[in-house]
Structure 1
Amino acid sequence: MARTLSGAIPDSTSPFLMMASHAAGDGEALKRRFQNAHANVKSSEHARKAAEVALAAEQADWADTFLHAAASSPHAAATTARRRWYAGDMNGAVQALEGRPGNMAKQQRRLSSELSVFEGWRPSLKTAVSSSRNNRVLHLLTNSLPHTGSGYARRTHSILTAQQAVGWETLAVTRIGYPVQIGVLTAKDTDVVDGVTYQRLLPGKMAKTMDGRLQQQTEGLLAVARDFKPSVIHTTTHFVNGLVAGEVAHAIGVPWVYEVRGQLADTWASTRGAESRNSERYQLFMEREAETMRRADLVVTLGEAMKHNIVAAGIPEEKVLISPNAVGGDYFSVPMSQQDARGVLGLDAGLLYVGTVSSLVDYEGIDDLVTAFALLAPRLPRLRLLLVGDGTSAPALRTQVQRLGLAGKVVFTGRVPAEQAKLYHQALDVFVVPRKDLSVTRSVTPLKPVEALACARPVVASRLEALCEIVHDGVTGRLAEPSDPVGLSEVLLELLEDEGLRKRLGAAGRQDVLATRTWSANAHAYAQAYSAAISNHNRKAS
């Protein structure tokens, strides 16, 4: 629908049609509408709405242009606040709404609340020390199966099932309001998936501010903890989860673990340019993350690159455990052949396939993969590109494919279930991780290439520190320079023209993953680390 609307009345400056062009990923149409609107500003309110669309499209320069023309709009302060908030000027955003009436006053209260959390606010509880039971771990999560199928949710589920297999009783609690907040209006209080219980915190009424909701969440988690009696509490990034878990752990007198799965401050900055790393929001975000790691009894992370950053933030090295992304279950079975997997998926078994299973977001560099494929397609008529997943970049990628005349050779599957994602891994001849060179991608190790290697498929990845921990160049796959589609196409061509090389690299990759990256091994490492944290905690308390 967005693509249809984007092509309608191409010279129109309607904010609605601007938003349609953005939703369709039609950057050229959006640029044209912005230019026409700038040349023919109808009113200050029209300019303000165009600024709102520009912010939604992450085009800050256009937002500034339209805000200048929107100065006399009675609602200009609301958009100015959003512009400052977007740039990380949190105090500036709050100040822009000072003394404003109605909805703008409500907006200021919301922003002020979030600012206070970033500035160091913490929930409060009365001490409620109760007996704990051995080998019980309470997990606090941002999201989970069956309502979210992200790498985060799947990593969590793998950890929980593996911990249960080695003798730990688990209970997972998701953030307050989830999954109703993502549209699952019929959500139950609990879901049980593969024997793992996910408990929801669904109050009759949610607080309207961030600090209010976090206080509600802390009290809700405390009630669960007093009933479950865990010997340790385990949570994950980002720091607001640590605020809640740490306070509850302190109240009931048990240690807590903070698992750093990403650098969300860098993820936020990656869409805003280098200057955003000097912003108030970025600095406060990093301070709160470091503070959370210092307060935790144990810090867990995914790889050496992330551990290096954690230690650089002042966390003692001996306090940090690496628990890498891993595989288990069906991945131990002998992988299907490409032909068999393609048969199940309805793909042509006689073609060659490269591609990825990933969130389709800017930093993943899928646009570079599409460009590299465009260079290869004329030389390899049997070659096809598989893009499995969805995300904010999907509309722009579809537009790029159309513009390059590749529509008949590129398959967009959209989001697929985990079991089907494994089939797509096995259907590929080469799995590609073309990530951009950004702070977040240099440090964070993704799960999908590990699963591809376990399926005995060679992986071509960007030459980034985090990916070099997974893909050993010339041994389990190949490395290519990030943001270099020509170089990527040359590396892919070498593999696509040599089936024997693909099989050798794939076999070596599977052997390496099964030897070094399993959820069972991670679960045993967690158990040892938990025991040490409990002993240290009890010693300090005595």
Structure 2
Amino acid sequence: MRIAMVSDDISPLATCGRADTDRRKAHSAELFAALARAGHDVTVYTRRDNPDLPERVTTAHGYTVVHVPAGPAAPLAEDEVLPTMGTFAGFLEADWMRHRPDVAHAHSWTSGIATQLAARALSLPTVQTFATLSVAESALQSGGEMDLSSRMRLERVLAKGAHHVVATCSEQVFELSRMGLPRTRASVVPSGVDVDHFTVAGFGTVPSSRGRYRLVAAGRPAPEDGFDTAVTALSLLPDTELVIAGGAAHDDAAADETDRLLALADELGVRERVHMEGHVTRDRMPALLRSADVVLCPSRYEPFRIVALEAMACGRPVVATAVASLRDIVVDGVTGLLVPPRSPHAVATAVRELIADPVQHGAFGVAGRDRAETRYSWGRAVVDLVGAYERAVRQSLAEPVTVRAGASRSGAL
């Protein structure tokens, strides 16, 4: 298939300043490369956010990246990106008239606007993915955050306007159904993991300090990641240390959250057992995960939890909150243990259970590796994703053609 990937903020070639964006970029690049290896013609369209980036380049992995001139060639906040999507759509329409794809896949709600405007003018099948849905984000807000109501309305229009929606987890499919999307128009294609990079080989290459048990958690420090739950749980677990990997230089929000976590650790008397590692590169991550006795994923909401997959691929048992994608990834009592969110006591109890039972601990590791290989390899992800594309094409063919060329310039969805 000729596949157009539209992701306004994740260039596989760009240098990003935030660790969470770096991981999303690397994950997206792995997906694009896996599709190219399977014989598909993949072109990635992303907004130019650096003047030094080439306009169009074919990568060593076989896919092409196009940096779209829409707005200033600099990183923009989400509310600043939105006004550039009309220009982005015009570029897509012109490019797709010359190089018509079989399907166009948008990877965020903002890029979905540009994708659907351009695709409608050319009667192209579209697929929509939402990294997160605003209805879920609003449930996490404690007051004072931005109003998400306008984005909610746009997400509903985009979901219904796409020929198919690829959800990141089962919970997201239910949220889409509550928004009015027919269940047949959505399918779950979970995150993939590179099972050749994240492996059980090299166990113990980063030993725990002072002979303690080691817990590892990873992600950009943010309240929704629930690292405060992990720190509080540590106060109930003597002879145990906690390593938190994530964050990057010049990320003020992550720095503020790191300071809050360290203050909490001081208050609980566990500061010397909490280690903030900062940003850990992809090359170093397998060794860090393999060094863990247990990998923690204490998120309050997480539709895109890569760390749990990486830990399972490394043969490490996972203790995770029973939310969003983690409920899909972790099989409770088989590859790890699921606990309620915001419950340090439940986390501590689960960790103690795994540490006290070496047989169960080992069995979870073996089962996790097997699940990663059979359900979450990139080969499996490609098969599932192409199936979703084929459904989008069939849905497109079943619809009457009512949109004339040039309709995208009207600026209306």
- 1:322-355 CA deviation, whole Å, 9 max, x = no partner? 1012223525x74124313x16xxx649542102
Match of 2:408 in 1: none
Is the contact made by 2:3 and 2:41 (CA closer than 8 Å) also made in structure 1? yes
- Structure 1 residues 215-234: aligned runs within 5 Å: 215-234=86-105
Is residue 454–residue 510 contact of structure 1 (8 Å, CA) maintained in 2?
yes
Q: Deviations over 1:181-239 (max 9, x none)?
A: xxxx643435636343322123685799766422221122233323432111110222x
Aligned equivalents of 2:309, 2:83: Cα separation in 1? 39
Q: Are 1:336 and 2:201 counterparts?
A: yes
Q: Deviations over 1:482-502 (max 9, x none)?
A: 222123212212222333321
User: d(CA) in 2 for partners of 1:365 and 1:521?
Assistant: 30
State the shift of 1:367 in Å.
0.7
Q: Which structure has the higher relative contact order (CA within 8 Å, separation 6+)?
A: 2
Aligned equivalent of 1:271: 141
From the superposition, tell whether residues 389 and 186 of structure 1 become closer, same or farther in structure 2 (CA, over 3 Å): same
What SS is found at the alignment partner of 1:376?
Answer: coil
C-alpha distance in structure 2 between counterparts of 1:354 and 1:329, whole Å: 22
Displacement of 1:445 in angstroms is 4.6
2:67 to 188, 197, 200: 200
Which of 233, 236, 239 aligns to 2:107? It is 236
Distance 1:532 1:336 in 2: 39
Greater Cα offset, 463-472 or 163-172: 463-472
Is the CA contact 1:162–1:523 (under 8 Å) kept in the aligned structure 2?
A: yes
**Map of 2:244 onto structure 1:** 387
Of stretches 510-519 and 358-367 in structure 1, the one that deviates more from structure 2 is 510-519
SS of the residue corresponding to residue 337 of structure 2 reads strand
Q: Shift in Å at residue 412 of structure 1? A: 1.3
Q: Which has the larger share of helix?
A: 1
**How many correspondences in the alignment?**
383
Given that 1:255 and 1:537 are in contact with CA atoms closer than 8 Å, whether structure 2 keeps it comes out as yes
What does residue 324 of structure 1 align with?
A: 190
Does structure 2 conserve the Cα–Cα contact (< 8 Å) formed by 1:338 and 1:429? no
Report what 2:406 is aligned to: none
2:171 aligned counterpart, secondary structure: helix
Amino acid across the alignment from 2:117: E
Q: Verify: 1:256 aligned to 2:113, yes or no.
A: no
Kindly tell me: are residues 317 and 499 of structure 1, through their superposed partners in 2, closer, same or farther at Cα, counting changes over 3 Å? same
Larger Rg computed on CA atoms: 1
SS at match of 1:419: coil
Answer yes or no: is the 8 Å Cα contact 2:166–2:187 preserved in 1: yes
How far off is 1:396 after superposition? 1.2
The amino acid across from 2:63 in the alignment is V
Q: More deviation in 285-294 or 200-209?
A: 200-209
Q: 1:136 maps to which residue?
A: 2
Gaps of 5+ in 2: 248-253, 402-413
Taking a change above 3 Å as real, the CA distance of residues 512 and 212 of structure 1, as seen in their structure-2 partners, is closer
Q: Does 1:406 align with 2:406?
A: no
Q: How does 1:82-481 map to 2 (within 5 A)?
A: 135-141=1-7, 142-146=9-13, 147-148=15-16, 149-175=21-47, 177-178=48-49, 180=50, 186-190=52-56, 192=59, 194-202=61-69, 212-238=83-109, 240-267=110-137, 270-273=140-143, 281-331=147-197, 334-340=199-205, 342=206, 348=209, 350-377=211-238, 380=239, 383-390=240-247, 391=254, 393-436=257-300, 441=301, 444-464=303-323, 466-481=325-340
| Secondary structure at 1:272 match in 2 | coil
Report the alpha carbon displacement of residue 268 of structure 1 after superposing the two structures with TM: 5.3
Would the aligned equivalents of 1:269 and 1:282 in 2 still touch at CA under 8 Å?
A: no
Residues 257 and 297, structure 1, Cα contact 8 Å, conserved in 2: yes
Q: Distance in 2 between matches of 1:455 and 1:483?
A: 26
* Aligned equivalents of 1:300, 1:412: Cα separation in 2: 35
SS at match of 2:295: strand
Deviation digits for residues 152-183 of structure 1 (CA, Å, limit 9, x no counterpart): 323322321221122211011113x42x3xxx
Q: Distance in 2 between matches of 1:507 and 1:211?
A: 45
Q: Which residue does the alignment assign to 2:377?
A: 518
Partner of 1:94: none
- Name the structure 2 match of 1:129: none
User: 1:338 aligns to what SS in structure 2?
Assistant: coil
Instruction: Name stretches of at least 5 consecutive residues in structure 1 with no aligned partner.
Output: 1-134
Contact 1:355–1:386, Cα closer than 8 Å, also in 2 = yes
Cα displacement (A) at 1:243? 1.2
Q: Could you say what secondary structure the match of 1:325 adopts?
A: coil
| Partner Cα distance (1:371, 1:502) in 2 | 23
Q: How does 1:23-34 map to 2 (within 5 A)?
A: none
- Does the Cα contact within 8 Å between 1:453 and 1:459 map onto a contact in 2? yes
User: Residue 483 in 1 paired to residue 348 in 2?
Assistant: no
Deviation string, structure 1 residues 285-336 (Cα, Å, up to 9, x no partner): 22211110101011100121111111121111111121012223525x7412
How many angstroms apart in 2 are the aligned matches of 1:411 and 1:445?
Answer: 24
Give 1:468 deviation, angstroms.
Answer: 2.3
Partner residue of 1:492? 351
Secondary structure of 1:158 counterpart: helix
Structure 2 Cα separation of the partners of residues 420 and 190 of structure 1: 31
Corresponding residue SS for 1:513? helix
Secondary structure of the structure 1 residue equivalent to 2:232: helix
CA shift in 2, pair 1:409/1:232, >3 Å: same
Question: Does the 8 A contact of 2:195 with 2:313 survive in 1?
Answer: no
Identity of aligned residues (%): 21
